Amino acid sequence: MKQIFHNEISPTPACRNTCLHGAFRQRQALRRAGTNDGNLPHPPSPLMGEGEGGGEYRLISAHLNPPPQGGRRFSGDIFFVFMWILFLPLILVILAFGCKKSIPADRCDYDGARIEPLYGVCFSLQDGSEKRFCSIVCASMSFQELKGRIKEVMVVDEPSGNKINASEAFFIESEMVTARHVKNRIHVFLKKEDALKHLQRFKGRWIGNPFRLSPE
Amino acid sequence: MILNALSITMIFIGALSVLLAIWGGISSFILYRKWKRPSRPEEKTSLEHRSYLILLIMVIVLLVRLINWPFFYITLQSFISDIEGAMCIFGVTQVKPGLTRFLEFLKPITFFLIGGWFILHILDRATKTSPLMRRKLFLLSIISLLVLIDSLGDIFLILGIAPESLVSCCTTITDILNRPTRTTPESIFGPEYAHPLQVLFFITHLALIGIIGITLKSKTLEITFLRRRPILGLLFLFAILSAFIFLLSQIEVFAPRMMHLPFHHCLYCLWQYVPDSILLFALFSLGTFSVGWGFTTALFGRHGETADLLPVHLRKIYSFAFFFLSASLIMLLIHLLVD
């Protein structure tokens, strides 16, 4: 639709109520007569540029160039449909791949970190399933929640790398850090002499079994 | 400093942005001051020519800064293998926690302001007389300041992250019992807060989409400026509230479920283990920002010639918001149903 600027035509009686035609003409006439801008009626706001706040640029008359209501609605809908047609298949494809991704077997069931076999902990649950953790820290954080469903807790003897029952193990907290993302300082030993060696070497201290299933 | 292609690119972009933000910010502020009342037509023509150059260069800088937000996280992700103890971006953020947190807070604000400025720019370019030029220049000088801070922050952060730094990762911080994301809803809904929080999220999200839909279908965008502005302002406030609930529910309810790690509440881990969730977050952010951009456009964009164009632009912005928010909700629902 061709835009007709209001100042290109003569004012109509409707202008008094629907646009600023009258004010614009008045300002133009005063300017031609040599009046300073400061003395013009309705001076522009200091935040506005020339012709702003009631000046020339507002004069695309609303009643001469009415907004095409129906057309706008239609174009909005088309735009909307277009967006969905464009993006919906993309989203579905991404979702299809995202939801079907396989969960790696060596992932910690607490924080998803890769499990280093030497520091892993495994909970055997009563329903036959297993929960595996990357460190004593992650296992102990899950322990309270899972306590009622746990049948057996298996830990790894650090010197030999063999899996042992947590109730048979010795636990030492020392300066040595394993599983660095959680700063695990708790170490597991099957033999007391191995535990003592570690304790002396890394300034450790004895701690109790953090996975005690029944009160002793 | 950890040297890889991404960190070098980040520093290069940062350095370039610093220089151009200083030049662009000062130039746009000077132009803003001079634009007020040019005395002669020649002077006005000269100002217009200068403004074209400044706008052209700053548009490119701002576009780069828009991309910089996701690029920042991609760069941090690339550092994970070089930081001892980091298993996700959270670990990397712990090397320089203060600066990283500040940048993580600043980047969305900068992104929002740049986006809002671009919409004003597009609106202004659709006119014949550029009535928004002066406002654009003023806003550009403010945005340049933020871009400058943001770029300097990027450079200092990338230079400051030393390889082999030893950090603790998310498990020891995001999963503790007295984390604020747990205590806040717990204080409102009690110990079983997860379900009410989830319901609250769906109610606010659907309400936001519904209100935007009603706004699009009704004549709200065509009504007078003074009546439209408070409505859109309230809508923006509601969108911020919805974003807050979205974040809370993602951390406490949806992220653990999507990751299949019921006790882990780290969003960075979510992005790592469920990469399509990045798109979900991007859609939600763009949807929320679009609601804000609608408000800022209504606030700053009505001026002379733009008055007639504004409803059309607002309709487009809110259509974007409707689309983005609906798409993010659909993605989340499909994830929850499939998982």
Q: Which pLDDT tens digit goes with each residue over A146-157?
A: 888 888 999 999
Q: Which residues of A touch B276 (CB under 8 A)?
A: 94-95, 97-99
- 40-79 of B, contacting A, C-beta below 8 A: none
Nearest Cα to Cα of residue B258 among B314, B309, B185, B333: B333
Q: Which residues of A touch B279 (CB under 8 A)?
A: 91, 94
Residue B232, both tokens: 């859109």
Nearest Cα to Cα of residue B164 among B86, B83, B77: B83
pLDDT digits (tens, 9 = 90+) for A130-147: 899 999 999 988 888 888
Q: Which residues of A41-77 are buried (b: 16+ CB within 10 A; e: fewer)?
A: eeebeeebbbbbbbbbbbbbbeebeeeeeeebeeebe
* B263 with A58: Cβ contact below 8 A: no
Query: Looking at the partner chain, which of A60, A145, A182 has a beta carbon nearest the beta carbon of B172?
Result: A182
pLDDT digits (tens, 9 = 90+) for A77-130: 666 677 677 777 777 777 666 665 556 678 898 988 888 889 999 999 989 888
* A91 with B331: Cβ contact below 8 A: yes
B84 has which bridge partners? B166
Q: Give percent of chain A above pLDDT 70.
A: 54
For the segment B47-56, the average pLDDT, to the nearest whole number, is 88
- A207 contact B CB<8A: no
- 195-254 of B, contacting A, C-beta below 8 A: 216, 222
Q: Pick the more confident residue, B2 or B200.
A: B200
Count CB atoms within 10 A of the CB of residue A88.
13
Placement of tokens 């060696």 in the chain = A197
DSSP code at position B84: B
For the segment B289-312, the average pLDDT, to the nearest whole number, is 87
Q: What is the pTM of this model?
A: 0.79
Placement of tokens 């806003």 in the chain = B139
Q: Are B117 and B139 in contact (CB under 8 A)?
A: yes
A171 has which bridge partners? A188, A207
Q: Which residues of B76-110 are buried (b: 16+ CB within 10 A; e: fewer)?
A: bbbbbebbebbbbbbbbbbbbeebbeebeeebeeb
How far is the C-alpha of B161 from the C-alpha of A1, rounded, in Å? Answer: 58
- A106 contact B CB<8A: no
Query: Looking at the partner chain, which of A65, A83, A113 has a beta carbon nearest the beta carbon of B323?
Result: A83
| DSSP track, chain A | -----GGGS---TTHHHH-SHHHHHHHHHHHHTT--GGGSSSPPPTTS-TTTTTSGGGGS-TTTS---HHHHHHHHHHHHHHHHHHHHHHHHHHHHHHHTPPPPTTB-TTT-PBPPGGG-EEEEETTS-EEEESSHHHHHHHHHHHGGGEEEEEEE-TTT--EEEGGG-EEEEEEEEESGGGTEEEEEESSHHHHHHHHHHTT-EEE--TT--S--
Angstroms from B157 CA to nearest CA on chain A: 21
Structural domain spans, chain A:
6-59, 68-101, 117-207
pLDDT at A36: 57
What value of ipTM does the predicted structure carry?
Answer: 0.74
Mean pLDDT of chain B: 90
How far is the C-alpha of A42 from the C-alpha of A54, rounded, in Å? Answer: 8
pLDDT digits (tens, 9 = 90+) for B25-35: 999 999 988 88
Q: Which of A32-41, A158-167, A168-177 has the lowest mean pLDDT?
A: A32-41
pLDDT at B79: 93
How far is the C-alpha of B306 from the C-alpha of B132, rounded, in Å? Answer: 8
- 143-182 of A, contacting B, C-beta below 8 A: 145, 180-182
